[in-house]
Structure 1
């Protein structure tokens, strides 16, 4: 029988058994925690590649060593407890055996292959390795460090990046729900294609994170391998915004059509009224600058009928584009019609202004005592005849009124001594 370095006393044996029981429980608890660690479970259940596959192969061997050492440790401890339990006061042979179990190389490990270069001609290809309990614990330390390092490193990457991937995934699901509400992929092909592109890039990133997390330990959260997460987010936001916009277009379609129909009804009425107004002005004023009335209501109604057809077919992409353009064009047509009406009314307003001006200057001439002067009266009569005649030749009337004004002013100046110049 192998011997211990020294023979222990009964009390020392009891203390060592208690200490080793504590070590064994600690080893078991640590290995069970490692066994249930999320990082280890993901590594064990995944299809690994690259650096992670290499590191995990080393880690798995380390874990196997840890469990093998624990089993050997437990077997020695069980033998020691059984032997110590036989009698309260063990005899010398029992003390020697217990000392060997607790201090000597009593732990027998599974047989290992011995490389051919490390054995002699008559040496066996397999060798049983023996260690003391203390040596077992010391031999487990580097294996524990290797196993926990790879598990923690992989788990740290997953903990950091998986929520990002899940967030993008949730955004895709929300956009897909919106597309379904709009009628499915055929209703919004452009947004569906963009969303498919986002999904493919997400799957590329997720595959890398799942298969080779250790290749990403130093990676920026904004980039996973060749996938730019910021660009992915931006594209997803764009698609989601467009889908939300189209959903709003769909929800407000009938309301906008009613409002547009009301605007076109008003435009139709105003066009007719402006045509009548123009005809009235042309009976009163002879002016080539009176503009034609722009007629847009009928054309806009035809376009509205086309948009209604798009809405019936659920083509909300074109509805969004064409309805907005139609609303803008209808508002623009109303504004242009209002401006045209102002230009049509301007000659009448100008004629009425000239009428008032002529009467004002006639009263001014009368107050100054020039009301009966032939020249002034002739100009007045000519201006009045032009301004009260239909149709009025407005350009001619403007020139005559201007001459009448100048004549009245000139007559008044003659009456002022200080206007006669210096009489030296």
Structure 2
């Protein structure tokens, strides 16, 4: 090396040493590193962390040897204001030669031989490369463990919070829900995440437990609301049943008015659900079920009452619609007759027979709409020469 090259290399190595020291201090103070240092790890994580610890042990040995060489180089540089040939040769050897000495490690007796183990000599660049490999091994493990903890621990915390809140709500409700299995599973998952995050694999199981807790939480919330508002909701349900009675009465009136005009199948007769729903409410009033179950039953009754009223109104509308359909077919038949006159087919025997059949069906009571519609179609084809 030239004098200028040696001076530059020494300054660069000093900067490199400071940067490496800073990185190692950052690693030592990393939160996850501190947690893992004192943790009782096992499984996949335990094996990987043991390998990391071994790598870090090698890193610190390399770092000590690396720093010792730089101290020697700085002492050589400090001996004279201007480097002489001897000092320059020493610096060149320290900074670019195989100046880092790794002493052979002591081995257990069962691993020794009678021949001495040779020390290993490395350049500064080779030493830094090995330290970097060990450092990357450690940070890779930290990143992988952090990724698991960051992804799963917040979800686990949320599930445990849901469980605590359910327990608080149970005290308010005065009833309990059997969540012993979920509680035990959450404890197992947390222990697994702390001792073996890389091998725990609790994500899918946690999702199932979280869903159960969310459903139970919603049910307990609803049960508390029902307990507080039961009297008011009961009155609302009674009003809803009155609306069902009214809608079903309208459907029966519609059926009575339509059945004399339109041929209806037996199943078209409206069926009432009022008695069934009223019986359900009476049973709920004296039920010994928990409020969670009663809330579910009350919500079902409310929903069924609403659907029964809607169904009865739809039935009445559909029944009256059948009369409208008959009137529409009558109008269509009249329009076809007018067209037959314009086309000079009013006296055609075949067309006239079709017309009379359709007319007889549409003006009979009760009217068979299916046959009447087919008869109108037949008449329409007859006056169009067999075309639709």
Please indicate, yes or no, whether the TM-score normalized by the shorter chain is above 0.5: yes
Partner residue, 2:33: 40
Task: After superposition, give the CA deviation of every residue in 1:106-161 in whole Å (9 maximum; x if it has no partner).
Answer: 3344651257688652537xx65443312211322332332222222222222222
Q: Is the 8 A contact 2:159 2:210 kept in 1?
A: yes
Q: How does 1:7-406 map to 2 (within 5 A)?
A: 8-109=1-102, 112-114=105-107, 121=114, 123=116, 129-183=120-174, 187-188=175-176, 191=177, 193-194=178-179, 196-215=180-199, 222-223=203-204, 227=205, 229-253=206-230, 255=232, 259=235, 316=291, 320=295
Cα distance, 1:302 vs. partner? 12
Any conservation in 2 of the 1:175–1:240 contact (CA below 8 Å)?
yes
Root mean square deviation, CA, Å:
4.0
Question: Within 2, Cα distance between the matches of 1:318 and 1:238?
Answer: 13
User: How far 1:13 sits from its partner (Å)?
Assistant: 1.4
For residues 65-119 of structure 1, the C-alpha deviation after alignment (integer angstroms, 9 at most, x for no partner) is 2222222222221232233123211233322332232223333446512576886
* Alignment deviations for residues 245-288 of structure 1 (CA, whole Å, 9 cap, x no partner): 2211232246558x59x99xxxxxxxxxxxxxxxxxxxxxxxxx
Cα distance, 1:197 vs. partner? 2.0
Whole-Å separation in 1 of the counterparts to 2:283 and 2:122: 95
Aligned 8 A contact 1:55 1:150 in 2? yes
- Cα distance in structure 1, aligned partners of 2:59 and 2:294: 68
Note if contact 1:69-1:140 (Cα within 8 Å) is conserved in structure 2: yes
C-alpha distance in 1, partners of 2:22/2:62? 14
Q: Deviations over 1:11-53 (max 9, x none)?
A: 1211111121232233223323332334433332322111111
Query: Aligned partners of 2:284 and 2:37: how far apart in 1?
Result: 63
* Shift in alpha-carbon separation, 1:75–1:215, aligned structure 2, 3 A: same
Could you tell me the TM-score, scaled by structure 1's length? 0.53
Asked if the contact 1:72/1:108 (under 8 Å) is kept, the reply is yes
- How many Å separate the matches in 2 of 1:27 and 1:38? 19
Query: 8 Å contact 2:219–2:292 — kept in the other structure?
Result: no
Query: In 2, Cα distance between the equivalents of 1:320 and 1:213?
Result: 40
- Alpha-carbon distance in 1 for matches of 2:300, 2:199: 51
Checking the alignment, whether the CA contact within 8 Å between 1:31 and 1:67 is kept in structure 2 is: no
Q: Are 1:38 and 1:155, in contact at CA under 8 Å, matched by a contact in 2?
A: no
Indicate the structure (1 or 2) with the bigger Cα radius of gyration: 1
* Gap runs ≥5 in structure 2: 240-274, 276-280, 306-388
* Contact 1:175 1:243 (8 Å CA) reproduced: yes
State the Cα deviation string for residues 284-339 of structure 1 (Å, max 9, x = none): xxxxxxxxxx9xxxxx99996x78xx89xxx74577589889999xx9xxxxxxxx
Give the conservation status (yes or no) of the 8 Å contact 1:109–1:130: yes
Instruction: Report the counterpart of residue 270 of structure 2 in structure 1.
Output: none
Aligned residues: 267
Task: Tell me the SS of whatever aligns to 1:233.
Answer: helix
- Aligned-partner Cα distance in 1 for 2:16–2:190: 41
TM-score, reference length from structure 2: 0.57
Q: Sort the Cα spacing of 1:302 and 1:138 in 2 relative to 1 into closer, same or farther, 3 A.
A: closer
Give 3-state SS (helix, strand or coil) of 1:204's partner: helix
- The 1:252–1:96 alpha-carbon spacing in structure 2 relative to 1, beyond 3 Å, is same
Give the C-alpha shift of residue 62 in structure 1: 0.8
Flag the 1:77–1:256 CA change in 2: closer, same or farther, 3 A: same
Question: For residues 178 and 100 of structure 1, do their structure 2 counterparts lie closer, same or farther at Cα, with a shift above 3 Å needed?
Answer: same
Q: Which runs of 5+ in 1 are unaligned?
A: 1-7, 264-293, 295-299, 332-424
Please tell me whether the aligned partners of residues 43 and 196 of structure 2 are also in contact (alpha carbons under 8 angstroms): yes
